[in-house]
Amino acid sequence: MAYDTDSAGNKKANAKPLSGGVISRSVLRWYDRHARDLPWRIGPAARKAGEKPDPYAVWLSEIMLQQTTVSTVTPRYAEFLSRWPNVQAMAGASLDDVLGQWAGLGYYARARNLHKCAQVVAALGGFPDTEEALKKLPGVGDYTAAAIAAIAFDAHAVVVDGNIERVVSRLFAIDTPLPRAKSQIKECAEKIWPKKRSGDFAQGLMDLGASVCRPKAPNCLLCPVSTYCKARIARQPEAFPVKAKKKPKPTRRGAVFVLVNANNEVLFERRPEQGLLGGMLGLPGAPWAEGLPGSIELSAPADVAWEKKGDIEHVFTHFRLVLNVYAGVAPKGFRRKKDQQWIAPSNAKLPTVMAKALSAGFER
C-alpha cells in the first residue's frame, strides 16, 4: 500500500495505481463466483461450456429493465417470454396485445418500440451483431445497443448503466456532477474494459454495483477492486457519483370519469399513439395541465349526475399528477365514440395511474 500525508502531516493511504488488466481480471474472477442467477442471463459457467445467449432474450430484458428494477421485471419477463418466445412471435402480435401485456411497467413508448423493433428484426432474419447496426433499430439507443452487442455477441462494447456508472465514478473519484459526467465515466470505463469476455465484464460490473457497490452503505470489504478505488481510499464512497441538485417537480392536474353501464362494464378509450401513455387504455377525462382543470362538463363522456370520488396522485419522471375522479351511470341510449369501448374492470389492462383512478371510482 502506498502512503501520502495530509495537511496535518498524518499518513493516509493511496489507491493502488489503476491497471485496466488487473481491474478487469479481478471483476471477472468475482463474477465467476458471484454472478446473479437471472432468467435472461447465460451464467459464466454455461458460457464456458459453450452455451450462447439468445439475442432476443437479451434485447427483451434490456428494454424491460430501462427505468425499472430487476425485481419488478423478473416475473413480467417470464410472462412476455411465455406468450412470445421469439422475435417472430412478437412481430406477429397486435400492438394492442403488447401494450396490454406491458401495462404497469411504465414508460409506455418502450412497448410501442418493442413491437416495431420485433417487426424490423423479424424482417431482417435476426438481430444484427454490431453496435452501429443495433442503434438503427426502433427503441435501441446507445446504451441498449452496447449492452446487446456485448452480452449477446461478446463484442467489445463499453456498457454503462446506473450500476456501472456508480462503480466507475467511485473507482476514479469522478467529481463532475451528473449528467455532465457521463462522457467522462464512459472514457474511464473504456480504460478498464477487456478485449475478451466483454459481456461477462459488463454483467460483472452490474452485479458489483447491485450487490456490493450499492448507493448507500457500500460493502467495500467485499469489493474485488477496493484497493484501487479512489473513493474508498478517500473514505467517501457515498459522495460518488456526484449528482446535480434536482429541480422540484411541477404539479399537473386533470379529471377522469368512471362511467358504468348496466352490465357493470366501464367506458375506456385508447389514448393517442404519441405522448405520455401513448396507445394505452385509459379513462375519458380532461387534459392534464398546471393549474385547476376546466369545467368537467366540457370533458365528461356523458351528461349525467357525476359523483366526485376523490383525488389520486401519481408521480411521473418530470411531474406530479393529481386527478379528480368522478363516477356515474351511463344513461339509456348512450352511444360511445369510435375510440371508446366497454370493458369489464377486471379485464382492463391499464397503466398504473389509470388503475389507481379506476379503483378510486369504485370506492364507496
Round to whole Å and give the CA distance between 126 and 315: 38
Round to whole Å and give the CA distance between 29 and 172: 21
Catalytic residues: 62
* Chain position carrying cell 467495500: 220
Q: CB–CB of 328/257 below 8 Å?
A: yes
Instruction: Provide CB contacts within 8 A for 275, sequence distance 6+.
Output: none
Instruction: Provide CB contacts within 8 A for 6, sequence distance 6+.
Output: 12
Round to whole Å and give the CA distance between 314 and 220: 36
Q: CB–CB of 238/216 below 8 Å?
A: yes
Instruction: Provide CB contacts within 8 A for 31, sequence distance 6+.
Output: 44, 200, 201, 203, 204, 207, 208
Round to whole Å and give the CA distance between 301 and 223: 59
Q: What is the crossing angle of helices 55-65 and 142-153, to 10°?
A: 150
